Amino acid sequence: MAVYIGSAVSRIDGIAKVTGAAKYAAEFNVPGLLYGSVVTATIAKGRIARMDRGAAKRMKGVIDVLTHEHRPEMVDNDQAYKDFLAPDGSPFRPLYDEKIRFNGQPIALVVAETSETARIAASLVWVEYEQEEHVTDLFNRREAAIPIKPAADSADASFGPPKTRGSPEQALAAAGVRHEAEYYVPIEHHNPMELFATTVIYEADGKLTVYDKTQGVQNVQGYLCGALALKPEDVRVMSPFMGGGFGSGLRPQYQLVLAALAALALKRSVRVVVTRPQMYELGYRPAMIQHIALGANAAGMLDVITHDAITVTSRYEGFYRQETGWSGLLYRSANASYKHSLVHLDLPTPCDMRAPSAATGVFALESAMDELAVALNLDPVELRLRCYSDHDQHTGHPYSSKALKECYLQGAEAFGWAMRDSKPCSMRDGGDLIGWGMATGIWEALQFTISVRIALTANGHAEVACATSDIGTGTYTIMAQVTADMLGLPLDNISVKIGDSSLPQSPVEGGSWIATSVANGIATTADAIRDDLLRLARSIPNSPLANAARDDVVLVDGKLASKRDPLLFVSIADAMRQGGVDRIVQEKTTEPAQDHSRAHNTHSAVFAEVKVDEQLGVIRVTRVVSAVAAGRILNTKTATSQILGGVVWGIGMALQEETLIDHRFGRIMNANIAEYHVPVNADVHDIKVIFVDEPDDSNRLGMKGLGEIGIVGVAAAIANAVFHATGKRVRDLPIALDKLRR
Ligand code: MOS
C-alpha cells in the first residue's frame, strides 16, 4: 500500500519553482495594474498633526495618495479586525487614524502607474507629527511587566503559564545542588526571501481576486471581509506559493489592507510590495528575559524547576506564547512554578516565529540543565536520562509516544559523544578550542479539523484539493504521495490544488499541524471514493467483487482489488463505465481524534561541535547531529530538509541574529539582511539528521508533524558547546565573539 508514503520523493513543485513557472503574490499581472508604495512613520509614538499629499499627487504618473483621511470606509470595531490568530487586545488597523503606535507604521499609500514612480512620490509625502514620549527598551520597562494569570486548565497552554506543582520555594531551599540564572533572547526577525506582497485584481463585476503572501488564505479572506465590510462571495484569496513565512504570514499583514483599499477607491487592480526594511515592522520574535532555578539531589534527580519569563509585546495587543512550561513535559520534578509577564512597548505586536516559545524557552531551560550538569559533575546526557519524564506533569497524562531516549542514544552514537572529555577547554585542534554540547528539543504534535476534496476520473487521474498552503515545507508533495497511495495510483497521476480560499476549509498552515491534518483528511476522503467505486464494481454482472465488503478491498495499481485474493479485482475504468460516470468527487471533513487523555509531542536530541579560535574568539559550528522522534515520516527528503533548515536557523539564533533598536527614536537600526546577520553557506558545515522510529496511534497515519522541531534545542546545544570549548558561559544571545572576551 505504502509505495510513496515514507519515501524520499522529490518536490513535485520543484521544477516549477526553479524555472520560475511558480508564481508568487507579486507576480500576477493584469493590464492596467497600478503600484502602491507605502509611506511609514518616522516617530515611535504620537499623532499625525498634518499631512500634505500635494507634491506627491502632482507627480506625473501618480494616481492617488491614500491616507487615514483619504480612503474608502473601514469598519470601526475591534472584532472586525480579529483574524483567526489575533491575541487579546485591539488589532492594529492600517491607515485607520492619525495615531502613531510604532516607528515604521504605514501612514500613506502612494498609487502610481509604475512602482518606481510610486516609490519616488512616496518620498514627497510631507508629514508633521505631534510626538509623545515612547519606550522601546525592554530593560527600561522590566519593572512595569504585567503578570499573566496562570492557566485555569493546565492542558491549555494558550491562556497562561501552567499551575504551580508542590512547594517550589521550600524545595529550592532544601536542594543539595542548585543552579539559578537569567537568560536573554533578543528580538529576532523571520527574513523570508519573498517580501510581503499583495496583488488585488479588481474584477469587471467589482469583485476582488487577491493574490497575497500568506500562510492562510481563508484567514485573509475572513479578515478582509471583516475590516472592509465585504461579502465573502466577493473576495477570493489565492496564495499558491510562498517564499518563506516561518510564522510571519500567519496573520494578515498591512500591505493586504492597503492594496485592497486602493483597489476599492480607484476601482482598479493594485499591487503593494513592502520593502526589505519595511519587513522589519511586520512582526518579530519577542525579546525575552527568562529566569530559571533548578534544584537537584546529589544523584542528579531534579526536585524543583522554576521558570519565569518576561516577554515583549505592543501597546495594543498582548502577544503571549508559553515559554515556561516545556520542562514539565521533559523532566520529572515534583515541584515547579511558572510565571510569565508582558512588557508593553511602542513597537508593533510580535508574531509567531518558527517554534514560537519552544525555540526560546528551551534555549533557557537546556542551557540551565547543562549548567546543572556541570555543577553535579555529571554527563549532560546522563542528567537528562535521570530526569526523563514518561508523562506530562502539567496534566498527569502519559505520552501517545515518546522516543526521546532513542534520540539521545542514536544521536550520541552518531556524534561520537562517548569520546567527550567533560572538562572545559580540554579538547583542541591546533589554535582552535573544540567544544561538544547537547540539548533536547520538544514541540507539539497537533491536528485540526480540515476538509479535503478528491475528484477521480475514469482514466485514473485524481485531483486533490484543500485551501491549505505550502509555505515551502513540501505540502504539495506529501499531499500527492498520500493521495497516490490511498487511491493506488502513480504519483504522476495526482494533481494538487491548494492556496485558494474557495477550496475546502483548512486551518492556517503553521504549528507543524498541516501535514498531519491534511494527510489524514486525504485518507478519509479517499475512503469515500473507494466506497463509491466498490458500489459501482459490485453492480457489474458477475462482478469478481460481488461479495466484497468495504474492508475487504483495497485500491492498488488503478484497480479495486480483494485483499484476500488479488486476482479478484475491478479496474477503476471498468467500475466507472459500469456506473456510466466519468468522475467521482468526494469532499469529507476530518476531525482530529479526541485523544485528550494522552500528551502529544515531538522530541529531538541535538549534538553540536564548535571550534573556537582561541585568539580571536571566532566560533564555527563544525558538526551538528539532530536525532528526531516525530512519529511516522511521510517524506524522508522534505522532512530532512525541514530539520536541516531548523538547524541552520538555530546556528543563526545562537551566534548571529539580533534586531537592534535605536531607543532614542524607537527605530530598528539593522532592518536589512546585510546588517541583520543570518547564516550563509560558509557558516554551515556538517549536519546529520536522524529520524528515530516512533510508532504512534494518535491518528490513522501515525503522524506528528515536524516543521518546527528542527530549530528547538539547537541554540542551547551550541551555547553548551561554546562553554565546553572555552569555559565561558554566555546566557544572552547571540553569542557574539566580544561576549567571550568580557
Ligand atoms: Mo510557524 S511559527 O507555525 O508558521
pLDDT at residue 2, rounded to an integer: 83
CA distance 305 to 180: 10
The C-alpha cell that represents 591 in the structure block? 476531525
DSSP code at position 166: S
**Which residues make beta-bridge pairs with 178?**
295
Query: Is the separation of the CB atoms in 654 and 720 below 8 Å?
Result: no
pLDDT at residue 594, rounded to an integer: 86
HEC profile of 673-738: CCCCCCCCHHHCCEEEEEECCCCCCCCCCCECCCCCCCCCCHHHHHHHHHHHHHCCCCCECCCCHH
Which of 323, 258, 329, 326 lies closest to 288 in space, CA to CA? 323
DSSP code at position 70: S
The answer, yes or no, to whether residue 155 has pLDDT greater than 80, is no
257-270 residue pLDDT tens:
999 999 999 999 99
DSSP letters spanning 549-602: -GGGEEEETTEEEESS-TTSEEEHHHHHHHHT-SEEEEEEEEPPP--TTSB-EE
The answer, yes or no, to whether residue 675 has pLDDT greater than 60, is yes
What is the CA(508)–ligand 1 centre distance, in A? 9
CA distance 695 to 702: 7
352-393 residue pLDDT tens:
999 999 999 999 999 999 999 999 999 999 999 999 999 999
pLDDT band at 157; cut points 50, 70, 90 = low
Q: Is 708 a catalytic residue?
A: yes
- The model's pTM is 0.97
Annotated catalytic residue, options 323, 658, 694, 708: 708
Closest ligand 1 atom to the C-alpha of 352?
2
What is the CA(426)–ligand 1 centre distance, in A? 39
What is the CA(125)–ligand 1 centre distance, in A? 36
Helix (H, G, I), strand (E, B) or coil at 481: helix
37-62 residue pLDDT tens:
999 999 999 999 999 999 999 999 99
Return the residue matching grid coordinates 483619504. Answer: 70
611-637 residue pLDDT tens:
999 999 999 999 999 999 999 999 999
Return the residue matching grid coordinates 515556561. Answer: 324
pLDDT at residue 159, rounded to an integer: 78
pLDDT band at 149; cut points 50, 70, 90 = confident
Q: How many CA atoms lie within 13 A of 24 on its CB side?
A: 21
In sign, the C-alpha dihedral spanning 691, 693, 694, 700 is positive
How crowded is residue 277: how many other Cβ atoms within 10 Å of its Cβ?
A: 13
pLDDT at residue 151, rounded to an integer: 75
What is the CA(471)–ligand 1 centre distance, in A? 10
pLDDT band at 741; cut points 50, 70, 90 = confident
Query: Can you say how many angstroms the Cα of residue 575 is from the centroid of all Cα atoms in its chain?
Result: 43
Q: Which of 190, 239, 242, 250 to probe ligand 1 with, by most ligand atoms within 8 A of CB?
A: 250
| % of the chain at pLDDT higher than 90 | 97
pLDDT, mean of residues 718-732 = 98
Closest ligand 1 atom to the C-alpha of 249?
4
Closest ligand 1 atom to the C-alpha of 356?
2
Q: What value does the mean pLDDT of the chain take?
A: 97
The answer, yes or no, to whether residue 30 has pLDDT greater than 70, is yes
What is the CA(623)–ligand 1 centre distance, in A? 26
Q: Which residues line ligand 1 (CB under 6 A)?
A: 215, 245-247, 250, 352-354, 356, 510-511
DSSP letters spanning 280-321: TTS--BPPEEEEEEEEE-TTS-EEEEEEEEEEEEESSEE---
pLDDT, mean of residues 16-35 = 97
CA distance 713 to 440: 5
89: left (phi over 0), alpha (psi -120 to 50) or beta: left
pLDDT, mean of residues 436-449 = 98
* Alpha-carbon Rg for the chain in angstroms: 27
| % of the chain at pLDDT higher than 70 | 99
Query: Is the separation of the CB atoms in 46 and 186 below 8 Å?
Result: no
Closest ligand 1 atom to the C-alpha of 510?
3
The answer, yes or no, to whether residue 256 has pLDDT greater than 80, is yes
The answer, yes or no, to whether residue 219 has pLDDT greater than 70, is yes
The answer, yes or no, to whether residue 154 has pLDDT greater than 60, is no
